[in-house]
């Protein structure tokens, strides 16, 4: 039986979507992931599972996207390009103003298989789809851990090179791609003629050697090292100004597919690769033709064993049904082909020694233990720190200073400590306990009951204030360009800022008096601070740094309350009543604004000129205008012509909303084939049940469908058998 979508399910779904969106953003837009790829995949799958269990996919769910969101919409970026300083720190800002580049044929992503059983299941799905028992020939290729890009050639000359973006529109990074080895400026046509317009897909990677060289030279220049080759490659490709050629030259392009303009007569995937080679591309080496699944598994095993010896990082093997005619028969989902799969490698593991455990203080006062490791190369990348998250984690794993530990990374940034190797050593150090006082301000720390995290409760703690200020100045919040770590540290050390709003009380002369601050940069920063005063309610809410309130929650709260005072005065119950606001967010928000000091802080922001326009208020459920404004729908079963996504999107576009749970307040239950418990519930509650044709009529504004009579369950059931 399908569980119903209660408040908790909804909150869980919301939290998972927000979480994944945040990590996707850190990964794709900031090149600064906080979790491993493997962890991202796990969370992504958990979300997918929950979505199919609940039959609900939120509008902004990452499962609806092919790949990365764009760095941002270009219009919003236009006005800021002029002010960008051309130094390393500005790269993430610089990346904001690439032109969009459309992929005429969408760039698909791949489903993953994590183990042999999943790989076999993929082959079985293919067999079933093709209605065959016999072996299916697969082409296997090492999966390069880089960035997918597209190169467009017109009349044989490279015209546009772009990142994958969301699969439909990427970023135009032509100038940078022209510097990359393996991406020829013109196609060779002697061996094989090419079409007027050809688009070639492939992966841009940084070699491990290039990566190490790059990091050495960065260290020599006093710059932070890149954490892994893929992030270095992503950053390199998306440089907008102050182009660092050294970085670009460490990149290589390897082609693996043709979007438009495949030569006529090709019948096999393998011939596509041959065509690419004939045109002058570097392609994926070490591929193998696998006659059946056993051969595919053997090939995977060989590649896994070879992995440590390769000059570029590979994170799995891509298997594709080799015959193109079969690929067409098997077909594609919205964002993934059903005829290909990425069989991922397990994460890289190494052992090393914990030299020290230090406690670091974050924005909310959370004290995080970090293990300082004897530097070790894990899959080609040197690792020297690993977060231990909290005391509970340390206790569970019984991690102590001096221990030898297994650490792992999977093309990721934050390495994890998997386990202690030598736990039975007699001369082990004492168990590690987080300090009883904040390592920065000395205040006694607290750990609330049921909370895994230990916190510094001192509002004036400099570490906390510093991180809150950096958060406030960040891109997603008030976006104060130029207010970075160095400046913030000086402002705090000199006592020029003792609370968040103080930023808006600083004058230009004070800024100019800071170290490493010329008159010009002081004027620039001052202008950025002035600009930041003019903000929006969601951004202001994000800037406050209320725990759990990220982009989505802030948008939702702003749209529900319209103005800040109503939100400040809302009780936890009022907040929980909002669709999409779970009990945790509600509690955090109510608790935050119940605090006199926080209210005073808000008042001070306002007094110093921080302002935002009122937000058009939206009643829960009442979306935009449209024929379905104010109506809530529940979808169940399989519709004939519309996918669930499409149905939801069209309902939302017409002003309605879609929920996963049938209640008395539901306007309609749309029942398709094999509808189950939701349909029964609808009949029990007397909610109108309509079919797809009736939904389409409503969507086109064809009036209200009749409210259903209560019908005996059995009869309703039969309708959809
Ligand atoms: S073939 C329909 N071959 O992995 C897509 N992709 O996680 C067929 N990738 O989007 C892609 N190495 O960017 C193919 N040897 C390889 C690859 C490869 C890396 C990337 C590609 C794809 C992503 C999916």
pLDDT band at 409 (very low <50, low <70, confident <90, very high): confident
**Atom number in ligand 1 closest to CA 147:** 13
pLDDT tens sequence across 170-227: 999 998 999 899 989 999 988 889 999 999 999 999 988 888 888 887 777 666 677 7
Cβ-Cβ contacts under 8 Å for 542 (sequence gap 6 or more) = 476, 477, 549, 550, 551, 554
Lowest-confidence pick of 421-435, 449-463, 490-504, 670-684? 670-684
pLDDT tens sequence across 589-618: 999 999 999 999 999 999 999 998 877 665
Quickly tell me which residue has 């893929």 as its tokens: 230
pLDDT tens sequence across 539-598: 899 999 998 888 778 888 988 888 899 999 999 999 988 877 888 889 999 999 999 999
Residues pairing with 205 in the sheet? 252
Most confident of 31-45, 230-244, 519-533, 676-690: 519-533
Lowest-confidence pick of 242-251, 386-395, 616-625? 616-625
Greater pLDDT, 435 or 560? 435
Among candidate residues 218, 147, 142, the one with its CA nearest the CA of residue 382: 218
Contact 593, 572 (CB under 8 A): no
Q: Cβ-count burial of 401 within 10 angstroms (0-12 exposed, 13-18 middle, 19+ buried)?
A: middle
Per-residue pLDDT at 243: 62
Task: Enter the tokens of residue 717.
Answer: 């059931």
For the annotated catalytic residues, the residue numbers are 143
Whether 76 shows a pLDDT value over 50: the answer reads no
Greater pLDDT, 131 or 80? 131
Residue 677 φ/ψ region, left for φ over 0, alpha for ψ in the -120 to 50 degree band, beta for the rest: alpha
pLDDT tens sequence across 654-710: 778 887 778 888 899 998 887 778 888 888 888 888 988 888 888 877 654 444 333
Residue of 256, 262, 299, 320 to mutate, ligand 1, most atoms within 8 A of C-beta: 256
Per-residue pLDDT at 75: 25
Residue list, ligand 1 pocket, CB within 6 Å: 108-110, 141-144, 148, 203, 256-257, 284, 318, 337, 340, 342
Residue of 40, 108, 111, 148 to mutate, ligand 1, most atoms within 8 A of C-beta: 148
Per-residue pLDDT at 566: 93
Residue of 112, 114, 140, 143 to mutate, ligand 1, most atoms within 8 A of C-beta: 143
pLDDT cut 90: percent of the chain above it: 46
Phi, psi of 672, rounded to the nearest 5 degrees: -110, -165
Greater pLDDT, 358 or 64? 358
Cβ-Cβ contacts under 8 Å for 606 (sequence gap 6 or more) = none
Per-residue pLDDT at 102: 93
Q: What does 137-185 look like in DSSP terms, one character per residue?
A: -EEEEEEESSEEEEEEEETTEEEEEEE-TTSSEEEB-HHHHTTSBT--S
Work out whether the CA dihedral 641, 647, 653, 654 comes out positive or negative: positive
pTM for the structure as a whole: 0.54
Ligand 1 atom 12: residue of nearest CA: 143
Cα 145 to Cα 573: distance, rounded to the nearest angstrom = 47
Cα 67 to Cα 28: distance, rounded to the nearest angstrom = 9
Q: Cβ-count burial of 536 within 10 angstroms (0-12 exposed, 13-18 middle, 19+ buried)?
A: middle
Ligand 1 atom 21: residue of nearest CA: 148
Ligand 1 atom 22: residue of nearest CA: 109
Mean pLDDT of the chain: 83
Among candidate residues 447, 396, 444, the one with its CA nearest the CA of residue 420: 396
Distance 274 CA to ligand 1 centre (A): 17
Lowest-confidence pick of 359-368, 455-464, 550-559? 550-559
Per-residue pLDDT at 89: 24
**Atom number in ligand 1 closest to CA 112:** 7
Whether 721 shows a pLDDT value over 70: the answer reads no
Q: If you average pLDDT over residues 94-103, what whole number do you get?
A: 69
Whether 640 shows a pLDDT value over 70: the answer reads yes
Cα 325 to Cα 271: distance, rounded to the nearest angstrom = 13
pLDDT tens sequence across 33-68: 777 766 777 788 888 888 877 777 787 787 766 444
Distance 143 CA to ligand 1 centre (A): 6
Lowest-confidence pick of 103-112, 166-175, 215-224, 429-438? 215-224
Ligand 1 atom 16: residue of nearest CA: 143
Per-residue pLDDT at 309: 87
Whether 411 shows a pLDDT value over 60: the answer reads no
Distance 107 CA to ligand 1 centre (A): 10
Distance 52 CA to ligand 1 centre (A): 25
pLDDT band at 125 (very low <50, low <70, confident <90, very high): very high
Contact 303, 317 (CB under 8 A): yes
Distance 68 CA to ligand 1 centre (A): 14
Whether 625 shows a pLDDT value over 50: the answer reads yes
Among candidate residues 180, 162, 179, the one with its CA nearest the CA of residue 171: 162
Distance 148 CA to ligand 1 centre (A): 7
Per-residue pLDDT at 157: 94
N residues, the chain: 721
Residue of 258, 342, 343, 345 to mutate, ligand 1, most atoms within 8 A of C-beta: 342
Cα 529 to Cα 488: distance, rounded to the nearest angstrom = 13
Ligand 1 atom 7: residue of nearest CA: 110
Paired sense of beta strands 314-321 and 340-344, if any: antiparallel
**Cα distance from N-terminal residue to C-terminal residue, the chain:** 16
Cα 292 to Cα 119: distance, rounded to the nearest angstrom = 12
Q: If you average pLDDT over residues 317-322, what whole number do you get?
A: 96
Per-residue pLDDT at 654: 75
Cα 392 to Cα 136: distance, rounded to the nearest angstrom = 48
**Atom number in ligand 1 closest to CA 143:** 12
Q: What does 628-654 look like in DSSP terms, one character per residue?
A: TTT-EEEEESB-SSS-HHHHHHHHHHT
3-state secondary structure of 119: helix
Q: If you average pLDDT over residues 517-534, what whole number do you get?
A: 91
Per-residue pLDDT at 20: 87
Distance 325 CA to ligand 1 centre (A): 20
Per-residue pLDDT at 426: 86
pLDDT cut 70: percent of the chain above it: 86
Whether 485 shows a pLDDT value over 80: the answer reads yes
Instruction: Kindly provide the b/e burial profile for residues 167-180, where b requires at least 16 CB atoms within 10 angstroms of the residue's own CB.
Output: bbbbbbbbebbeeb
Most confident of 10-19, 149-158, 441-450, 635-644: 149-158
């Amino acid at each position: 039986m399908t569980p119903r979508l209660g408040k908790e399910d909804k909150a869980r779904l919301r939290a998972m979507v927000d979480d994944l969106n945040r990590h996707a953003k850190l990964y794709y837009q900031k090149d600064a992931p906080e979790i491993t790829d493997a962890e991202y995949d796990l969370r992504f799958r958990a979300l997918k599972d929950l979505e199919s269990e609940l039959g609900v996919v939120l509008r902004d769910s990452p499962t609806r996207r092919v790949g990365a969101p764009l760095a941002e919409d270009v219009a919003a970026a236009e006005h800021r390009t002029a002010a960008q300083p051309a130094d390393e720190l500005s790269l993430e800002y610089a990346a904001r103003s690439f032109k969009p580049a459309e992929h005429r044929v969408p760039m698909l992503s791949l489903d993953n298989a994590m183990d042999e059983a999943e790989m076999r299941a993929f082959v079985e799905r293919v067999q079933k789809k093709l209605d065959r028992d016999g072996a299916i020939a697969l082409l296997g290729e090492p999966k390069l851990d880089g960035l997918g890009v597209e190169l467009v050639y017109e009349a044989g000359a490279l015209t546009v090179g772009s990142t994958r973006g969301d699969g439909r529109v990427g970023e135009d990074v032509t100038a940078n791609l022209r510097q990359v080895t393996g991406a020829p400026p013109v196609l060779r046509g002697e061996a094989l003629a090419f079409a007027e317009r050809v688009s070639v897909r492939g992966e841009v990677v940084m070699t491990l050697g290039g990566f190490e060289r790059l990091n050495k030279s960065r260290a020599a220049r006093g710059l932070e090292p890149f954490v892994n080759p893929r992030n270095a490659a992503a950053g390199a490709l998306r440089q907008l100004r102050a182009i660092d050629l050294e970085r670009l030259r460490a990149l290589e392009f390897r082609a693996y597919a043709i979007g438009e303009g495949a030569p006529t007569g090709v019948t096999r995937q393998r011939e596509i690769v041959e065509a690419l080679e004939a045109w002058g591309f570097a392609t994926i080496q070490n591929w193998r033709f696998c006659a059946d699944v056993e051969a595919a598994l053997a090939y995977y095993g060989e590649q896994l064993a070879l992995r440590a010896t390769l000059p570029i990082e590979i994170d799995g093997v891509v298997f594709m049904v080799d015959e193109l005619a079969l690929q067409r028969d098997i077909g594609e989902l919205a964002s993934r082909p059903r005829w290909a799969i990425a069989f991922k490698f397990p994460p890289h593991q190494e052992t090393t020694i914990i030299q020290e455990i230090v406690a670091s203080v974050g924005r909310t006062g959370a004290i995080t233990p970090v293990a300082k490791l004897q530097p070790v190369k894990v899959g080609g990348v040197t690792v020297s720190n690993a977060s231990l998250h909290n005391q509970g984690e340390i206790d569970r794993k019984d991690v102590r200073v001096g221990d030898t530990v297994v650490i792992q990374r999977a093309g990721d940034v934050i390495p994890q400590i998997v386990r202690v190797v030598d736990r039975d050593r007699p001369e082990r150090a004492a168990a590690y306990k987080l300090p009883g006082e904040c390592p920065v301000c000395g205040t006694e720390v607290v750990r609330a009951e049921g909370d895994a995290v230990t916190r510094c409760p001192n509002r004036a703690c400099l570490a906390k204030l510093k991180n809150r200020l950096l958060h406030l100045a960040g891109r997603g919040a008030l976006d104060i360009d130029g207010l970075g770590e160095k400046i913030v540290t000086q402002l705090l050390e000199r006592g020029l800022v003792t609370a968040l709003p103080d930023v808006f009380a600083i004058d230009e002369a004070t800024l100019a008096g800071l170290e490493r601050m010329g008159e010009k940069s002081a004027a620039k920063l001052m202008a950025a601070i002035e600009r930041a005063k003019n903000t929006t309610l969601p951004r202001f809410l994000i800037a406050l740094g209320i725990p759990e309130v990220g982009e989505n929650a802030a948008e939702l709260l702003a749209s529900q309350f319209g103005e800040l005072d109503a939100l400040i005065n809302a009780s936890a119950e009022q907040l929980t009543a909002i669709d999409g606001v779970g009990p945790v967010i509600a509690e955090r928000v109510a608790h935050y604004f119940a605090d006199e000091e926080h209210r005073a802080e808000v008042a001070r922001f306002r007094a110093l000129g921080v302002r935002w326009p009122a937000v058009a208020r939206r009643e829960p459920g009442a979306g935009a205008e449209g024929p379905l404004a104010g109506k809530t729908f529940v979808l169940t079963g399989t519709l004939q012509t519309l996918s669930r996504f499409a149905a939801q999107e069209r309902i939302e576009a017409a002003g309605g909303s879609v929920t996963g749970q049938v209640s008395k307040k539901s306007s309609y239950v749309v029942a398709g084939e094999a509808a189950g418990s939701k349909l029964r519930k609808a009949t029990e509650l007397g909610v109108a049940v309509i079919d797809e044709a009736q939904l389409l009529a409503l969507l086109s504004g064809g009036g209200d469908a009749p409210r259903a009579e209560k019908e005996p369950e059995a009869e309703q059931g039969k309708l959809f058998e």
